[in-house]
Amino acid sequence: MAKKELKVLLVIPVYNHGSTLADVTCKAIATGYPVLVVDDGSDDNGWKELTHLDCQLHRLPHNRGKGAALLAGARLAEKQGFEAIITLDADGQHDPAESLHLVTEAETGVWPAIIIGAREMVQDTVPGASHFGRAFSNFWIQLETGVELSDTQSGMRLYPVKELLALHLLKTRYDFEVEVLVKTIWAGIPARSVPVSVHYPPKAERISHFHKFLDNWRLTQLHTVLLCRRLLPVPHGRLSKKDKKKREAVVVKNPFKTLGNLCRENASPFWLGVAVWLGIFLGALPLLACHTLIIIYVAHRWHLNKIAAVAASQFCMPPLVPVLCIETGYFLRTGEFILDLSWEKWLLEIHVRLFDWFIGSLLIGPLLGFAGAFLVYRLGRKWQGETVIHG
């Protein structure tokens, strides 16, 4: 594939990072790429340190969030004829010199694409919350897109300008980077990663405006909306016709090959466990006469193993699990168990029992699902180990 020559602008969004901004900007300028600093309504006057530097400065009158600053930078980049922007955090976490790795990947691979600088988080000073947050985000984004990425929270990214501005984006703060990644993939633009270093200063020297409760709540709301949107049988608007993945179709003429393909979908022990959890949870719900169809549909939309999910749901067949759910639901409502096994109690009051079943399944389903998922995960890990030893 012939190498493309992309016109790239480095964009540094900043909000009250006066102590690190000048150093980060100098290092960005040293890469040889043009640099734009977007000040998101800072009140620490850090931008004044840039007046003698060879970079552009764009100031927003009020703090609107990192996403708003990045979009403002992308609009300016488009006006100036840039095809791509690379975003760098102003806190010194990224090494601007490694922007070249992202540009090289973009120029030699399929374009347009999002290129993520996947942080090699090996420092002792990396907060435990950062490790957890990255794994948590990776999990949800794989459910929402079916794409496995190693660092979906990295702020060092290369975006195609035209495609970025064509997206319908609603978020403007830290949740912006999740929304833009998911919607870009939905639009047919691939996402790829390249490893980059990361610097975490000691805790006392860190500058972060991430609000642990408020921003995590925003992210939770966003993932809920994206997962629900993923379930809708409505196609997403496509921005690229080049996203034609050469994958073997799941359904083929030979039924045995079809079964084999279904079994191989997301077949790692972890994702098999997730599929089992889904199957048991949905299997415990009072979805009368349509459990299997719903489980297959949800598993398909969330890119989970359909065979594992449907098989796991069979453990919820009557009478044991439904009765357990009904008794649990009745106890949660009344503080008592149903000891009356009469026809009147169970059939004439069927509408009430269905309500009890629903309430109880919201507790029993997840608990049984976690037990089944854990068992499958452990067995899968053991089987993998034996395969490696004897293979």
Structural domain harbouring 186: 8-231
Q: Is 1 part of any domain?
A: no
For 82, which DSSP code? -
Q: Is 199 part of any domain?
A: yes
Who has greater pLDDT, 207 or 239? 239
With b meaning 16 or more CB within 10 Å and e meaning fewer, what string describes 373-383? Answer: beebbeebeee
Q: Is 223 part of any domain?
A: yes
With tokens 């379930």, the residue in question is: 231
Q: Can you give the pLDDT at residue 32?
A: 95
Q: Is 210 part of any domain?
A: yes
Q: Is 239 part of any domain?
A: no
Alpha-carbon gap, residue 57 to 69, rounded angstroms: 12
Q: Can you give the pLDDT at residue 380?
A: 77
- Comparing 67-76, 227-236, 290-299, 305-314, the range with the smallest average pLDDT is 227-236
Q: Does one domain contain both 79 and 210?
A: yes
Q: Is 2 part of any domain?
A: no
Average pLDDT for 258-277: 71
- Comparing 30-34, 125-129, 190-194, 204-208, the range with the smallest average pLDDT is 204-208
Who has greater pLDDT, 266 or 59? 59
Q: Does one domain contain both 194 and 266?
A: no
Q: Does one domain contain both 273 and 142?
A: no
Q: Is 3 part of any domain?
A: no
Q: Does one domain contain both 319 and 286?
A: yes
Q: Does one domain contain both 82 and 222?
A: yes
Strand blocks (E) in the chain: 8-14, 35-40, 56-60, 84-87, 114-119, 157-160, 191-196
For 130, which DSSP code? H
Q: Can you give the pLDDT at residue 135?
A: 86
- Strands across the sheet containing 84-87: 56-60, 35-40, 8-14, 84-87, 157-160, 114-119, 191-196
Who has greater pLDDT, 250 or 237? 237
Q: Does one domain contain both 219 and 82?
A: yes
Q: Can you give the pLDDT at residue 389?
A: 45
Who has greater pLDDT, 242 or 156? 156
Q: Does one domain contain both 49 and 160?
A: yes
pLDDT tens, residue by residue, 319-351? 899 999 999 999 999 999 998 888 788 888 888
Alpha-carbon gap, residue 313 to 291, rounded angstroms: 8
Residue 387 has pLDDT above 60, yes or no: no
Residue 243 has pLDDT above 60, yes or no: no
Q: Does one domain contain both 83 and 218?
A: yes
Q: Is 382 part of any domain?
A: yes
Mean pLDDT highest for which of 61-65, 220-224, 362-366? 362-366
Q: What is the CATH number of the domain that holds 152?
A: 3.90.550.10
Q: How sure is the predictor about 44, in pLDDT bands with cuts at 50, 70 and 90?
A: confident
Who has greater pLDDT, 156 or 232? 156
Residue 250 has pLDDT above 60, yes or no: no
Alpha-carbon gap, residue 334 to 315, rounded angstroms: 27
Domain count, the chain: 2
Q: Does one domain contain both 195 and 319?
A: no
Q: Does one domain contain both 226 and 77?
A: yes
Q: Does one domain contain both 65 and 171?
A: yes
Average pLDDT for 286-293: 89
Residue 354 has pLDDT above 90, yes or no: yes
Q: Does one domain contain both 369 and 308?
A: yes
| Contact indicator for 9, 33 with CB cutoff of 8 Å | yes
